[in-house]
């Protein structure tokens, strides 16, 4: 499997150029690029063409552009317009997917089946807008509409578009109590990326994104998860996505190196 660094792991206020240089220096194979890192960097580095040249020079593959709200019940166009911009960026960089989360509550009075239909219609609209870039659905643990892969796969099925897939995040799947059977039901060709991270030892209902840790420092059953990925046949990116203020306060070079060292130790490299 290939190693990947999600730029949010270094902190939102860091310069994209510095993150990418550090990722290249420690040997990451790929990067997930937060649009909030990309946009302010473009005037400094010669636009999207300059960013593409930088990625090529540093030998870093753009694994995804992230993160975008599925926003299935959006009344205006802000989220959709941002999504289309994400598609333009992904195409210019050669990134194959847009990471698309959904933490929506089901509106009062709406059945879950109707909510899934609305999410599917939205997914189809987004997929058509950015094709051939993939819409990669990210379940958010303990949420009502898309809390796990079974809902994501059902939305994908109802959307009926070839450029839609799902992802796995070890933190969200643990937090959501996702079963082995639900994970193994993900078709290999629709499991587009895996986020690997660890977690503090807290009651599941108390866990928040800020409790994530470097791989191997917490209590998540990562070795067991690896066996499931191998059964599926997954051989893509293992991307580290951590939202931890303690890490964000560290120098970019340190958090990137610590991330890679932890991942390599866990992988036995």
Torsion of CA 211, 213, 218, 220, to 10 degrees: 80
Q: Model confidence over 31-61: pLDDT tens digits?
A: 999 999 999 999 999 999 999 999 999 999 9
Give the mean pLDDT of 95-105.
Answer: 96
Say how many domains are in the chain.
1
Quote the pTM value: 0.96
Q: Which domain holds residue 177?
A: 2-267
Other CB atoms within 10 A of residue 8 CB = 22
User: Which residues contact residue 170 at a Cβ distance below 8 angstroms, ignoring those fewer than 6 apart?
Assistant: 194, 195, 196, 197, 198, 220, 222, 225
CATH of the domain at 187: 3.20.20.150
Cβ atoms 240, 5 nearer than 8 A: yes
Q: Model confidence over 166-202: pLDDT tens digits?
A: 999 999 999 999 999 999 999 999 999 999 999 999 9
Which pLDDT band, with edges at 50, 70 and 90, does 252 fall under? very high
Query: What is d(CA 52, CA 92) in angstroms, rounded to the nearest whole number?
Result: 7
């Amino acid at each position: 499997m290939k190693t990947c660094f999600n730029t949010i792991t270094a902190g939102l206020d860091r310069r994209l150029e510095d993150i990418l240089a550090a990722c290249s220096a420690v040997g990451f194979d790929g990067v997930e690029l937060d649009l909030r890192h990309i946009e302010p960097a473009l005037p400094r580095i010669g636009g999207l063409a300059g960013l593409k040249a930088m990625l090529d020079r540093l030998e870093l593959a753009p694994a995804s552009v992230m993160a975008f709200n599925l926003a299935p019940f959006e009344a205006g166009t802000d989220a959709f317009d941002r999504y289309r911009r994400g598609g333009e960026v992904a195409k210019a960089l050669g990134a194959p997917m847009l990471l698309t989360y959904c933490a929506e509550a089901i509106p009062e009075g709406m059945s879950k089946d109707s909510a899934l239909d609305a999410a599917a219609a939205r997914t189809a609209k987004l997929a058509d807008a950015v094709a051939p870039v993939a819409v990669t659905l990210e379940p958010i643990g303990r949420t009502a509409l898309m809390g796990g892969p079974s809902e994501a796969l059902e939305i994908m099925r109802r959307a009926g578009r070839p450029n839609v897939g799902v992802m796995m995040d070890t933190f969200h799947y643990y937090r959501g109590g996702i079963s082995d059977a639900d994970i193994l039901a993900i078709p290999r060709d629709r499991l587009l990326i895996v986020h690997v991270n660890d977690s503090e030892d807290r009651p599941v209902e108390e866990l928040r994104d800020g409790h994530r840790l470097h791989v191997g420092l917490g209590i998540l059953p990562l070795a067991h998860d690896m066996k499931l990925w191998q059964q599926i046949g997954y051989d893509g990116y293992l991307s580290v996505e951590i939202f931890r203020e303690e890490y964000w306060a560290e120098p970019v070079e340190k958090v990137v190196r610590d991330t890679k060292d932890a991942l390599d130790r866990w992988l036995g490299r």
